[in-house]
Amino acid sequence: MMKKVLGIGNALVDILVNVEDSMIAECGLQKGGMSMIDADRKRELHEQLQNVPQICATGGSTSNTIHALARLGMPAGYIGKVGNDEMGGFFRREMERFGVKPHLILSDIDTGIATTYISVDGERTFATYLGAAAEMTAEELDPSVLSQYDLIHVEGYLIFNHDLILRVCQAAKAQGLRISMDMASYNLIEEHYDFVEMLLREYVDIIFANEEEAKAFTHEEGEKALDILSQYCEVAIVKVGKEGSFIKMNGEVTKVEPVKAMACLDTTGAGDIYAAGFLYGYLNGMSAAKTGRLASWLSARMVENVGAKLPDEVWAQVHEQL
């Protein structure tokens, strides 16, 4: 029977708009920057964009990973918190449309939205409203949901919510689930170092980190960082950008060569889909080399497209490869 994967993270709706730089200035945003905004500011910006063509998709790091796992054909579910509003309904419908079982908590607060302004030169400017996603609490988690799955993938951006992450990990271990986690952000690792160290030591089985995140935790780079992470977790993955990635599993190190992309249009979601490819291969018993190759190949396809979701025609190619 195929393994089932559950994800928990910040449930956001991604809105992508192609704009002139003058529009970014009119919105009071700094080109190339990332602004955290409140509900009033979010509504104000969206009023300014109401006549601009938009692409909407489910977002959030773990949501992207779970979406990709479902498209790979793996049974998947997702825990997150959304508003009882139009965007919350969109998030649920999109999850269901692609085969993900949503375990969503509803809030009176607006659904989180991450708006991406894409300039003519390809540069991206972000305005992020976390909304309901940031309000998820440990008390709202239903541990019985976990019993339906074999592995839970935890979003590193939730690290600031110690009570929630700890409750998730404790419930997962009590019910025999394996736990994977993406470190998500080097500054969060630095700010919550002791808590992250405890999670890796006591709970996490599979850890994903990029170069900056691995260095923030281990104070080392490359294979040295990988070796330290593997002392905490059964499986450790360190992604080193254009140099590919390293996997340490069953005591053996595998160097995964990068898959060349035809063009690099947008790196958004590349790490998320790498995690999906790895978890798919790992849970289906593939070797570290084949698992890493699949993860790297998916990442290359992701950067060739705009946004954090691959188009249908690329998924058709994926299934031909599989």
Q: Is 71 a domain residue?
A: yes
Q: Does residue 218 form part of some domain?
A: no
pLDDT digits (tens, 9 = 90+) for 305-321: 877 899 899 899 888 87
> Whole domain around residue 314: which residue ranges?
5-11+61-110+134-182+259-321
Residue 89 lies in a domain: yes
pLDDT at 35: 87
CATH number at residue 161: 3.40.1190.20
> What gap in Å lies between CA 168 and CA 322, rounded to an integer?
32
Quick check: is 206 in a domain? no
Q: Which two tokens stand for residue 72?
A: 């790979």
Task: Bin 260: left if φ > 0, else alpha if -120 < ψ < 50, else beta.
Answer: beta
Residues of the chain with pLDDT > 90: what percent?
A: 78
pLDDT digits (tens, 9 = 90+) for 160-200: 999 999 999 999 999 999 999 999 888 899 999 999 999 99
On whether residue 221 sits in a domain, the answer given is: no
Q: Give the Å distances, CA to CA, from 69 to 98, 108, 185.
A: 10, 30, 22
Question: Rounded distance, CA 200 to CA 269, Å?
Answer: 24
Helices (H) and strands (E) in the chain, counts: 12, 14
Do the domain assignments include residue 45?
no
Q: Rounded to an integer, what distance in angstroms lies between the CA atom of residue 242 and that of residue 229?
A: 21
Mind giving me the DSSP string for 266-281?
A: --TTHHHHHHHHHHHH
Tens of pLDDT, residue by residue over 56-96, are 999 999 999 999 999 999 999 999 999 999 999 999 999 99
Entry pTM: 0.93
Evaluate whether residue 35 is within a structural domain. Answer: no
- Is 82 a member of any domain? yes
Structurally, the chain folds into a number of domains equal to 1
Residue 24's pLDDT is what? 92
